[in-house]
Structure 1
Amino acid sequence: MPRGDLVIGVDCSTTAAKAVVWNAHGVALSEARSGFELAHPRPTWAEQNPEDWWTATRIAIRRAVQTVDRERIAAICITHQRETFACLDRTGQPLRPAMIWADTRATEEVQKYGTPEVHTVTGKPPNPTPAWYKLLWLAAHEPETLSHTASVVDVGGFLVNRLTGEFRTSWASADPLGVVDLRTFDYAEDLLTAAGLHRDQFADLAAPGDVVGAVTEAAARETGLPPGLPVVAGVGDGQSAQLGCGITAPGTAYLNLGTGIVSGTFSRTYASDVRFRTLAAGLPGGYTLETFIGGGTYNIRWFVEKFAGVNTQMLGLDLSPEQVLEAAAEMLPPGSEGLVALPYWTGALTPYWDHHARGALIGLTGVHGKSHVYRAILESLAFEQRFLTTGAEDALGEQVSRIVALGGGSRSRIWCQILADVMQRRVEVVKEPESTCLGSGVLAAAAVGIHPSIEQAAHEMTGTARVFEPGDTDVAAYDRLYAVYTTIYPALRELFGAMAEAR
């Protein structure tokens, strides 16, 4: 029997650490957040101080456990930003700032080393996000850093070390680094050797949901946790969101409507394809197949801040500018009266992997105003997600009949309805806003026996609150528009390349 009936999930994201105390039914009893900084010392660089991860995490944990009975806490599990890594010396101290997932300095390394063979082994199409390419960059530009590196750790592995003193992580946390062979869930020795590293410099791998250590006396003093508390191997934030949405079988996809839009389906078999990136799932032995749109709510926020000019305070409205624009956009017909957007504000990821691609508005006339552009952006992201989901279905031969939405964008009623109409699938919105963090709670609850399995924990602790069904009239209109949408990028691809050369 577990020592208690509560678990702690920690989500150490790109901007903050959040700790949530969950009960056996997935209800949040207490939560706390602590933020940290992100640095851009050069245009393509993105770095953080790893010590900030620990400082924010221990502060968030300490605050979260202050209002609950600590004797009821049975385990803690961590999810985290993926691809980000730290190089540590023999004492566990960082040798340099951590290079995070958004760092794109390693473009030359991608061009040189990003082969189809690497893609097949790791499941990651060549792009600057996985840490392996940045490790190759360090080997070329900072060899002294790697020569003094005793440990290369993902964010979860770093925090597990601070909690337990052990260098252990799950293979699903290490996998996004791009150094794990997904056919064996073990390190790919050839990839480590190419960067001048060896497996002794990486954390020991465990299955997601395994207990990887216990909270030390020192960590207990810093966090307020009971000493000896089991620490459970977590997974990256995308895979954790999948668990937090209750997805442990094929047929359902999660759709995280955040700054970028990430969607993932579960597969029991391994596959690699440019139409998705493959990761180890939170359910051991399974896989998460993800599509990624770089500009999600980022595109919407860009329009609102740069062009919308909606000042709700001056209008005396207790509403956000987005709410006003949504009300106006909802009055428009599908297709925004002939205006179609291409949502590549941050380039194109799956399946094109074209960093020269850019956003576009097609069909502008004098009729169009702010509400048209706003709706066109929402529709373009729905068109793009249909394109990506359909491509993944074709590659796998498995259909996705149900979408579970989460993230900030899932609060938009009009956007969720547009997604249902465009994708011709039922869209359900999670009842728990912190579903990514809840995925860690699922793993922790299963690890210590609160629930008999990860699947059962996911079933008991998750759920949805709102449902959007495709509408009969709008589905036909969007079908015609989607056929047009899929021709836009192929028609502009060469133009985007020419524009890049001209710059």
Structure 2
Amino acid sequence: MSDVFLAIDAGTGSARALAFDIEGRLVTQAGREWSHPAVPGHPGGTTFDTESGWVAIASAVSEVVERLAGRRVAAVAASSMREGFVLYDESGAEIWACPNTDGRARAEADELVAEGAADEIYRTAGDWVSITAPARLRWIARHEPGILSRARHLGMLSDWVTTRLTGRFFTEPTCGSSSALFDIRARNWSPELAAIVGVDPGILPPVVESGQQIGTVTRAAAAATGLPVGTPVISGGADTQLALHGIAAREGVPTIVAGTFWQTTAVVAEPIIDPERRLRTLCHVERDAWMVEGIGFLSGLAMRWFRDAMCPDAASTAQLTGSSAFSVMEEWAAEVPPGSNGIVATMASVMQADAWHQAAPSFIGFDINDAKGSSRGAFIRAIEESAAIVAAGHLDILGALTGGRAAAEGAVTFTGGSSAGALWPRVIAGVTGLDTRVTPAPEATSYGAARLAAQGIGASLPPMGEPDRVVRADTAEHEAYRSITARWHRVYRDVVSISGPDLPPLFTPPGAARRPLAPRPTTADHLG
């Protein structure tokens, strides 16, 4: 009956609440899947519904509180997807919000590129303008000017959770820096970038470091969640950085944080800005650390879609065996050899922040005359191989940026929801040639938030323990994956070319001549 520390995670695909005890053990959890509606008339646009979102979060928290049966929640901290943000009016009511998937501001991003502002933003903030606040705020000014004139506060999505709990407005460097309005070296808002966008700096909230108490649970929040009034609320942060904090990631061993999207990351002691504008750099949890990452869109979401659309029987089979639908799906995929019997899944490309062209999600190479070879297991394995190949591309870039320091120990850590799988770590080891260290539990992001919740009241949770599995890279399998990887990149390039103009190479494998860097007239095609 000892105290617990509550983590609330507003992720891309779900809202979750998890309680951990002082030893770092997961006590109980609850979640609610959600999705983000399209914006009519604006291709690529998605909105974040703050009302239904808060209902989902409050419901998950209430379920956890009920299961705790009187056990005290000592403190709460929130994590969230990045890039998404909320605008509030003078009364503190939400008047506009978007998730990280919102891609409606392409024209405004193109304008920032043409003006040369995108380069300055990248040099200062470490991220491009494709799906970050500068282009989105310009979109609001153009299409919904009344919203911007009424805005008195801006908060990222993890900030929004804490504001709902406390009524106070703050941000912290990990999620705040994903706005592309931060000076990542100063770990604070950049007045110069705010001026470029034309946003009133007065709407940007004060910045505190992660792990500091922001306020306490209000009466209204207590009524919605079941948390006691006065429960301390601590600044949390961005999902990827909190996952790295949860596992105590260090320089020398990169980490794949595998959720709805996959982030392939390296912790660095200085804010490295990619001179070829491929990856992005954000503030890490610790004051003297930053994080460089490449993002693989759809990697986890593609598996969830395939489960729901193509494998309705996997859940019923899982109930009989006491496993999960994803475990059943991986058993089918494990029967298929590397290369997925020729099937290639085009779900996401290796990141090129300033010209990031995504292919339409598709499968290539299946044989309708060979039902056994083109089985569901082959499609599932193709999804997993696609994610691993994109992660390997990001690892190659991280190695180049850090002079080989990123993977100096010959291993990669695999954490997040996808790490619960049995096959996926083997595929990663085969594709990358690196020993794949799987964390003891996939809830690294929430555990990082719980560690910060404890820190905020002077307590301490240990970092997540040593990996419970290490999948060694098989030399023969890695050699087989070289040609499989090369074919995947060729196919991906061809699929992109079907719907777009003649484009520069999406990814140049190590050892090949790299393309010259030149300004581009267009920015990313987000999610195809």
Please state which band the TM-score falls in when normalised by the shorter chain.
0.7 to 0.9
Root-mean-square deviation (Å):
3.3
- Counterpart selection for 1:39 from 30, 37, 40: 37
Moved more, 407-416 or 316-325: 316-325
Q: 1:473 aligns with which of 467, 473, 476?
A: 476
1:414 and 2:431 equivalent? no
1:403 Cα deviation after fit:
2.4
- Structure 1 counterpart of 2:245: 243
Q: 1:482 to 1:70 in 2, by over 3 A?
A: same
8 Å contact 1:14–1:81 — kept in the other structure? yes
Q: Deviations over 1:184-239 (max 9, x none)?
A: 11111122223332222121110111222233344344433343332211111111
Residue 399 (structure 1) aligned with residue 406 (structure 2): yes
Unaligned stretches of 5+ in structure 2? 504-527
Distance 1:390 1:356, change over 3 A: closer
Output the CA distance in 1 between the equivalents of 2:312 and 2:391. Answer: 28
Residue of structure 2 aligned with 1:375, choices 340, 357, 381: 381
Match of 2:295 among 289, 292, 297: 292
Alignment of 1:9-158 (within 5 A): 9-34=7-32, 38-42=36-40, 43-68=43-68, 72-96=72-96, 98-114=97-113, 115-127=118-130, 129-158=131-160
Q: Indicate the SS of the match to 1:168.
A: coil
* 1:207 aligned onto 2:205: no
Output the CA distance in 1 between the equivalents of 2:110 and 2:430: 39
Q: TM-score, normalised to structure 2's length?
A: 0.82
Residue segments in structure 1 that go unaligned for 5+ positions in a row = 452-456
TM-score by length of 1: 0.86
CA gap of 1:329–1:78, structure 2 versus 1, over 3 A, is closer
Distance 1:447 1:473 in 2: 49
Deviation readout 1:437-483 (Å, 9 max, x if unpaired): 111001112222222xxxxx452x44532221112321222234435
Measured in 2, the distance between the counterparts of 1:218 and 1:24 equals 28
Conserved? CA contact 1:257–1:409, under 8 Å = yes
* CA 395–317 in structure 1, closer or farther in 2 if over 3 Å, else same: same
Aligned partners of 1:359, 1:62: CA distance in 2, in Å? Answer: 37
Distance 1:309 1:29, change over 3 A: closer
Q: What displacement does 1:277 show?
A: 1.5
Moved more, 199-208 or 356-365: 356-365
Aligned-residue sequence identity (percent) comes to: 25
Say which SS state the counterpart of residue 47 (structure 1) adopts: coil
* Corresponding residue number in structure 1 for 2:446: 437
2: CA distance, partners of 1:403 / 1:331: 25
The reply to whether residue 264 of structure 1 matches residue 265 of structure 2 is yes
Q: What is the CA distance between 1:124 and its match in structure 2?
A: 0.8
Question: 5 Å matches for 1:161-172?
Answer: 161-172=163-174
Are the structure 2 counterparts of residues 174 and 325 from structure 1 closer, same or farther at C-alpha, using a change threshold of 3 Å? closer
Residue 436 of structure 1: SS of its match in structure 2?
helix
1:334 matched to 2:335? The reply is no
Instruction: Compute the displacement of 1:131 (Å).
Output: 2.3
Structure 2 Cα separation of the partners of residues 30 and 89 of structure 1: 36
- Comparing 190-199 with 366-375, greater Cα deviation is found at 366-375
1:17 counterpart letter in structure 2: A
Once the two structures are TM-superposed, the CA of residue 174 in structure 1 deviates from its matched residue by 1.6
Asked whether the 8 Å contact 2:166–2:218 carries over to 1, the reply is yes
Q: Structure 1 residues 76, 413: closer, same or farther in 2, change over 3 A?
A: same
Change (3 A) 1:480 1:231: same
CA distance in structure 2 between the aligned counterparts of 1:171 and 1:237, rounded to whole angstroms: 12
Kindly state the Cα deviation for residue 146 of structure 1 after the two structures are TM-superposed.
0.7
Q: Is the 8 A contact 1:404 1:427 kept in 2?
A: yes
The alpha-carbon distance between structure 1 residues 465 and 197, as it changes in their structure 2 partners (threshold 3 A), is: same
Matches of 2:378 and 2:57, distance apart in 1: 42
SS at the partner of 1:108?
helix
Aligned residues between the structures: 487
Matched letter for residue 7 of structure 1: F
Q: Deviations over 1:39-78 (max 9, x none)?
A: 2232422112323343333333333223437674332111
Q: Say if 1:39 and 1:492 are closer, same or farther in 2 by CA, change over 3 A.
A: closer
- The answer on whether the counterparts of 1:17 and 1:35 sit within 8 Å (CA) in structure 2 is yes
Question: How many angstroms apart in 2 are the aligned matches of 1:345 and 1:122?
Answer: 27
Q: Which range moves more in the overlay, 107-116 or 215-224?
A: 215-224
2:419–2:442: 8 Å Cα contact kept in structure 1? no
1:427 maps to amino acid? T
- Show the counterpart of 2:230: 228
Deviation string 1:238-270 (CA, Å, 9 cap, x unpaired) is 1112222331x2122332333322222211110
| 1: CA distance, partners of 2:361 / 2:52 | 35
User: Contact 2:420/2:441 (CA < 8 Å) preserved in 1?
Assistant: no
| Structure 2 CA distance for aligned equivalents of residues 313 and 19 of structure 1 | 26
Match of residue 384 from structure 1: 390
CA distance in 2, matches of 1:28, 1:320: 19
CA distance in 1, matches of 2:76, 2:329: 41
Correspondences of 1:163-182 after superposition (within 5 Å): 163-182=165-184
- Change over 3 Å in CA distance of 1:157–1:399 after alignment to 2: closer
Q: Distance in 1 between matches of 2:198 and 2:497?
A: 38
Deviation at 1:340, TM superposition (A): 5.9
